[in-house]
Amino acid sequence: MTTSEAQQRARSARKDSAGPRRSELLDAAAGCFAELGYDQTSVETITTRARVSRATFYAYFSSKDEVFQAITERVCARFLDAQLVVDVEVTAPVTVIAATTRAFAAAVFANGALVTLIEHRADVDPAIGAQWTRVRERLRHRFTAFLERVEGEIDPCAPLPRIVETLSDALLIGAARARPDQREQFVTDHIAIAQRLIGFADIEDAT
């Protein structure tokens, strides 16, 4: 086994362990990317912010590209988790829409600058593009599947896949642009719009 192969195997083992040091590096890198952008962020910038050596960085990540991909994975996981905040088996559909919309918006609020950067990198980095596309398609598939299950309780104004695409894009883009003082109103408005487009016959106060 060569030295580089041994390093890669050790790095993979550390990635799988998801220990606190790796998490701290991801936090530092996320802060750098969010504040400085992709091009202005370097390995040195990240290690300075994390207060670790370059050797420590390379023990966990092989490059700036790899750490950005790990950050993208983490952001994507938060969006997927946002769809699981309530038990859809026992919760009223209108409440499910309100709760998941609020959770998804919160994920965008917490990662707004990174979301914008991921969107940009998806256009120029095939790996990020594939990863981002895969997650967004999974989110839409989950949303569509849920609505198909409750079709007897709704009167959608358009085909469900089109409604899901419209709502998903509007939420992702709109939440990223909303100022802190606008966020609560944005969420309330988006929930109301979603309920109208989906066509709940008896809309309750589930915001």
Query: pLDDT tens digits for 36-65?
Result: 999 999 999 999 999 999 999 999 999 999
Q: Is residue 110 part of a domain?
A: yes
CATH of the domain at 98: 1.10.357.10
Instruction: Report the predicted TM-score, pTM, of the whole model to 2 decimal places.
Output: 0.81
Same domain, 56 and 92: no
Domain that holds residue 118: 67-198
Please give the structure tokens belonging to residue 205: 């106060």
Same domain, 50 and 74: no
pLDDT (0 to 100) of residue 112: 82
Same domain, 53 and 147: no
Render pLDDT for 158-172 as a digit per residue (tens, 0 to 9): 999 999 999 999 999
Q: Is residue 43 part of a domain?
A: yes
Beta-strand runs (E) in the chain: none
Q: Which of 81-120 are b and which e, b meaning 16 or more Cβ less than 10 Å from the residue's Cβ?
A: ebbeebebeebbbbebbbbbbbbbbbbbbebeebbbbbee
With a CB cutoff of 8 Å and minimum separation 6, the contacts of 116 are 176
User: Is residue 17 pLDDT above 80, yes or no?
Assistant: no
> Alpha-carbon distance 21 to 2, whole Å?
26
User: Is residue 207 pLDDT above 80, yes or no?
Assistant: no
Q: Is residue 207 part of a domain?
A: no
User: Is residue 103 pLDDT above 50, yes or no?
Assistant: yes
User: Per-residue confidence at 3, pLDDT binned at 50, 70, 90?
Assistant: very low
Measured in whole angstroms, the distance separating CA 185 from the mean position of its chain's CA atoms is 21
Same domain, 57 and 72: no
Q: Is residue 204 part of a domain?
A: no
Q: What's the average model confidence in pLDDT over 77-87? A: 91
Using alpha carbons, select from 118, 121, 134 the residue that is nearest to residue 176.
118
